[in-house]
Amino acid sequence: MAVKKKAVASEERKEELFTLSQLTAAEKFSDRKDVLKAVLCDRKAYSVGEVEKRIEKFMKGKVK
């Protein structure tokens, strides 16, 4: 089992990274452009999984 966990971890590291402009242009996030601009930094690259987690966390946040 330990071998499988290492293989999964190495696959996650190989995920492609995208900039904010690339993500806002993507069809997958076409309905979430405003959320992307709110939760992501313009000068950093993100994986799709990380972006989805940040969007989910933002959407579950409480309004003050």
pLDDT at 62: 83
pLDDT beyond 60 at 1: no
What is the SS3 assignment for 1? Answer: coil
Contact in structure between 30 and 59 (CB atoms under 8 Å)? no
pLDDT beyond 90 at 24: yes
Return all residues near 63 (Cβ < 8 A) that are at least 6 apart: none
pLDDT at 5: 56
What is the SS3 assignment for 7? Answer: helix
Q: Provide the token pair at 49.
A: 């999984």
